[in-house]
Amino acid sequence: MLVSKTKGVGPERPVRPGYGTQGKAIVVRANFFAINIKNDKFYEYAVEIKPEPKSQKPRVKRRILELFEASPAGSAYRNHLVHDGSRRLISAKPLPQPLTGTVKYFESGDTGPHKDADKYEVTVTYTKELSTAPLKKYLEGDVTRADADDKVDPVISALNLVLQRQASESGFRHGRNRFFFDDNEKGQLGPRLDALMGFYSSVRPVHKQLMVNLNVCMTAFYQPGNLLEAIESFDRGSFGGNSAEFMRDVKVSTRHMGFKRVKKVFRVVTLTARTQRFKCSEYNNEVISVEEYFKRRYKINLRRPEMPLVDVGGPGKATYFPAELCTIEPGEPHLGKLSPNETSNMLNVANRRPAVNALHITQQGIPKLGFTGNPTLDAFGVSIATQMTIIPARELPPPGVTYKQGKPRVANGSWNILDVKFHHGARINKWGVLVVIDGQPEFQGPADPRLKDWIKAFAEKCNKSGMTVAGPPNIKIDAVKLVPTNTDPGRTRAITALEEKLTAFREADIVLVLLQRRDDYIYPAVKRICAVKLGIHSQCILTEKAFKEKGQDQYFSNVALKVNMKLGGENHRLDPNDMRWLQQTKTMMVGIDVTHPGPSSVKGTPSIAGVVASVDQHFGQFPASLRLQKSKQEGIAELADMMIERLQAFRARSKALPDRVFIFRDGVSEGQYDKVLREELPQVIEAFKRVDAKNARYRPKLSIVICGKRHHARFYPTSEANADNKNGNTKPGTVVDKGVTSVVDYDFYLQAHFGLQGTVRPTHYIVLYDENGLEPNTIQQGVHVASYMYARATKAVSLCPAAYYADVVCEQARFWIHGFLNQAHEGSSAGDSASVAGGTASDRMKRKREDAEKSVYDAAVRMWGNGLHPRLKDSMFYL
């Protein structure tokens, strides 16, 4: 019996109504391994550390608990204990009470504490017994979701600590569930940067069985060694890269005091040990240089006093330190943005065939994570299978794809469009071509015969594809020469010149912008100027690709796909039989996503929320609504208003509001599912009430489906017949709804697309809310065929197009505030002092930081302006 009641008051998540049956039945291997538990209970304890560590609390607390386990008080129970590195400890057997121990702190790698080492008292206090019985009942479907939150989740989190025990000691932990190992599987990404192979591990309850999900993962790590040597190596090998940004937030160790200390580098500064002077309290407030201080205080003669210092104090408390005295420790992850070359190298390192990844998991992951021969697992009565689980799956049939003229054959999830005409070709009455000269000119000018021939060939391709494209004199051709980067490093003058030229095209339907390269300034500027300031469609084209004779016709076809959709056309449709699930009544398909600032963004940079929706029963055009909102806010603050805009657009095109609304929500983690129901669902319903002033009772039937890509489930063929013939992945259309899916939730995994490289990743779909009574066959086959509707491709895509479009429009809108999203925060200078009166120093610092972040947010809002220009609001400008 499956019970679905959610915790607290609110709508219920639907229980799986059954399993899909359509398609060819197959079996696959999944990277899940069965777990068996003998013990019927564990014991949970609270950990108290006195005094609280002053800085780097998570890292220091974890180290204190490691020292406690090795102390006389804790060593007798070592194999029976696991902890979260902070406040929670789990034991396989009861511990004596009270259990208290004192440790003297020293860093890993030192032989012991120094004479003045900090002392900490660790107290372990019993809190409760964790019975494994509710977990076993939950696996059978006999526990409500509310009870699972209280009785099952604590056991699962405890088991994760048990399974992670050995890996956290022998490898490098990065995040909660990933562990990396410095071995022969690593590959170099760039100067002083390696990609290390590791393994993701997470305990997952599935119907009738507890599993652990294991997967291979790769992450960039700094090469260990001297920090100054690393900076110099980076400067030599990165061809103009920013070493200050590269080294930001890296943890380093120092030993100038005779013992190891760990600090975080907040920034590399231009000041040197020889030139930076300060008032030194240790020497009667004498003003001395950093170089002189280390010579007098520690008897250290710096080898390179002319080199830049690093700030290890941070905003408001800058502490400058010679880089030559710092060491990057092994296992230090690189959190910043990778360069294009490093990203390419990462893809090459991580690009392994499915069979290779499967062997890595079973032959390396299992032993490295300690899933065999582990005394801690034995103490907790836990055993883990060493072979992947084998589960049922199905291969769904592809839909038929149609054009106004020509019907291509779909094979391996793709088709060819060389001799077809779009279902609805857009009309281009006026258009322009802007050649951006950014370096050595490739053309003699706007009148260059080679350029004119290229423009003519592109127009002919568009016309041949079913569009109507005007020829001369309705084509405006111009060029702009940009100021070189060495005299304009921020490209401010270049962008000003670019805007002046683009303004001359404001009457055009679209402008083709020919770029010699796609950099971090010019491409984003083109997109922002055209979409926000001028309200004209733009299509950027790299001359390196566009002017190659080989493959040019295919390139033109791909560009024509985007241009036609931007201007309101419709490229292809699906066979009516495949669309029946959507077209049986007026249906609006919605995609929702939120994109957040990353590690290289300025603190306070806003998040961007995007909503796209279909406007008619062809499901070709998906115009968008966009909003800025507070940084890293997962929910969507103005969802009701954006939904009203999409409903109004549907009514304008279809002459009526929809009877059904299907929402595909991207970017939601497992822990946020109920938050969507609590916070976003009411806004959607509010939009229904407000959209029609004459009919407040308007209420279409609503379904919400979560689309998850950030998971680690992978499937492997069990026979050649079920594998693609290129790299051994499962075939397009593979769907899994048994064996590794949720105990209660209505979910399935679907791989609609062809896996081009590495091990293909399916999308995890969860039906979160359903008033339409979606049957498993309907939603599974429906999402599968919808994956062939993505307009700018001639293949099935990995994500339902509505959600894919929402992701794309958010990424496009990032260019509108690009300077904030891709600018490292430089921190405070040495002369900073608190400017806010009142309160403690920490209060003042917090208020100062909050004021700075608000200032950044306000500046980003000004840069955003009114957002998308009104001329583009009913278009797919973002393709």
pTM here is: 0.93
In Å, how far are 446, 451, 486, 567 from 435, measured between CA atoms?
8, 9, 21, 21
DSSP-assigned letters across all residues of 64-83: HHHHHHHSTTTGGGGGGEEE
User: Distance between CA atoms of 415 and 419, rounded to whole angstroms?
Assistant: 11
Q: How many percent of the chain have pLDDT more than 90?
A: 80
Reported as type and span, the H/E element at residue 649 is helix 639-654
In Å, how far are 236, 306, 633, 661, 857 from 687, measured between CA atoms?
57, 63, 21, 12, 27
Per-residue pLDDT tens digits for 681-727: 999 999 999 999 889 899 999 999 999 999 999 999 999 999 998 88
Any idea which fold 425-566 has?
Answer: Rossmann fold (3.40.50)
Amino acid letter at 222?
Y
Amino acid letter at 741?
T
Note the pLDDT of residue 834: 28
At 577, phi and psi to the nearest 5? -60, -35
Q: Is the pLDDT of residue 2 over 50?
A: no
468 in Cβ contact with 425 (< 8 Å): yes
* Nearest alpha-carbon partner for 709 in 674, 664, 745: 664
What's the sign of the alpha-carbon dihedral 195, 199, 200, 206? positive
809 in Cβ contact with 610 (< 8 Å): yes
- Which residues contact residue 491 at a Cβ distance below 8 angstroms, ignoring those fewer than 6 apart? 482, 483, 485, 519, 521, 522, 525
Torsion of CA 191, 192, 197, 200, to 10 degrees: -110
At 860, phi and psi to the nearest 5? -65, -40
- Tracing tokens 């003699």 back to the chain, one arrives at 444
User: Which comes out higher in pLDDT, residue 642 or 241?
Assistant: 642
Q: Which CATH number fits domain 577-711+761-823: 3.40.220.10, 3.30.420.10, 3.40.50.620, 3.40.50.2000?
A: 3.30.420.10
Per-residue pLDDT tens digits for 416-443: 987 899 999 999 999 999 999 988 888 8
User: Distance between CA atoms of 142 and 3, rounded to whole angstroms?
Assistant: 7
Q: Which CATH number fits domain 41-129: 3.30.70, 3.10.50, 2.60.40, 3.10.450?
A: 3.30.70
Per-residue pLDDT tens digits for 373-399: 999 999 999 999 999 999 999 999 999
Q: Is the pLDDT of residue 247 over 60?
A: yes
- H helices of 398-448, in order, are none
Domain boundaries, the chain: 41-129, 225-329, 425-566, 577-711+761-823
Query: In the predicted model, what is the mean pLDDT of residues 310-336?
Result: 90
User: Distance between CA atoms of 605 and 631, rounded to whole angstroms?
Assistant: 6
Per-residue pLDDT tens digits for 487-541: 888 899 999 999 999 999 999 999 999 999 888 899 999 999 999 999 999 999 9
* Nearest alpha-carbon partner for 475 in 507, 501, 438, 523: 507
User: Distance between CA atoms of 253 and 261, rounded to whole angstroms?
Assistant: 5
Mean per-residue pLDDT over the chain, rounded = 92
Q: Is the pLDDT of residue 836 over 50?
A: no
User: Which comes out higher in pLDDT, residue 301 or 146?
Assistant: 301
Pairing of strands 660-666, 701-708: parallel
User: Which comes out higher in pLDDT, residue 574 or 248?
Assistant: 574
What's the sign of the alpha-carbon dihedral 501, 506, 509, 510? positive
User: Distance between CA atoms of 802 and 389, rounded to whole angstroms?
Assistant: 33
Note the pLDDT of residue 606: 94
Question: What class has domain 225-329?
Answer: mainly beta
Note the pLDDT of residue 841: 53
Note the pLDDT of residue 54: 85
pLDDT band for 11, please (50, 70, 90 cuts).
Answer: confident
